[in-house]
Amino acid sequence: MKPIRKLAFVINEDKDGALALGRELIAIARRCGIRLKHTTRFPLPKGWLRGWDACCVIGGDGTLLGVARESAREQVPIIGVNRGSLGFLTTFSADEARLQFADLLGGAFMVTHRAMLACSTGPGAHDLALNDVLIKDAVNSRLVRLEVVADDELVTDYTCDGLIFSTPTGSTAYNLSAGGPIIHPAAGVIAMTPICPHTLSNRSIIFRENVCLRVYNRSPGARLLVAMDGQRNLKVGAQSPVEISIANLRLPLAQRSDYSHFSVVRAKLKWSGGFVEKR
């Protein structure tokens, strides 16, 4: 990749050690002659990344999700440095960042482009999500009846606590906790996973990338909540369907040149397992 000449930092000051690590990386960038700016506030305002070469996010995956929309709009790659817990998106550890930061600034990284979801709940009410769109009752955790239509074809209706629509990137987030599948981030699909459906069968459905999904509220008197990446909510009109599709914009995510998705999954989910025959 091209060397980075203008670098923005987003630092989650609530994460242990994030501010100190940010000072270390900023010092490295200054020694390399990089133009800098930084903030501890996120989500980012529209236009904050315009014209910058990259954005270094120091925090957890939630911090990165707060930067994702602006990064996608401006096509500015995110370098995620983990100071949270799991860190599926912020894949650089603090030690890796310290050791490799000068090389990263010199262009020693690759950029993958992650699919995002576009969601609309009515005129003027639309947003992007990198991980998932959650649809549930707006007031409490009572069951709701949700009807799902894919490209004008009825899929089914669910009586459940809610539905999760996930990108491949988000498949290891809420989708996984609800029993959904792990999906490789390069797969062109959307996963739909019901939350506690009132049925003996509970299966996710995988839709192709160019599908247009609509979800209708079939619970009289119930109001829906639509949560984007667990951070922002969209209002839903009483008769308006929730429309979900793959967005035209994709998130540019900077990663090590030797990045392996399944290596990250094995480490974060503590996969183990090989059977070793005793001799």
Mean pLDDT estimate for the chain:
93
Prediction pTM value:
0.93
Q: pLDDT at position 12, please?
A: 97
Task: Read off the pLDDT of residues 168-177 as tens digits, 9 standing for 90 and up.
Answer: 999 999 999 9
- The CATH code belonging to domain 116-248 is 2.60.200.30
Q: pLDDT at position 215, please?
A: 98
Is 16 in the active site? no
- Three-state secondary structure readout of the chain: CCCCCEEEEEECCCCCCHHHHHHHHHHHHHHCCCEEEEECCCCCCCCCCCCCCEEEEEECHHHHHHHHHHHHHHCCCEEEEECCCCCCCCCECHHHHHHHHHHHHCCCCEEEEEEEEEEEEECCEEEEECCEEEEEECCCCCCEEEEEEECCEEEEEEEECEEEEECCHHHHCHHHHCCCCCCCCCCCEEEEEEECCCCCCCCCEEEECCCCEEEEECCCCCCEEEEECCCEEECCCCCCCEEEEEEEEEEEEEECCCCCHHHHHHHHCCCCCCCCCCC
139 against 17, higher pLDDT:
17
Q: Does the pLDDT at position 266 exceed 60?
A: yes
* Catalytic residue chosen out of the listed positions 14, 53, 61, 151: 61
Domains of the chain, by residue range, sit at 6-109+256-268, 116-248
Class level of CATH domain 6-109+256-268: alpha beta
Residue % of the chain over a pLDDT of 90: 80
Task: Read off the pLDDT of residues 206-235 as tens digits, 9 standing for 90 and up.
Answer: 999 999 999 999 998 889 999 999 999 998
Residue range 109-134: mean pLDDT, rounded: 96
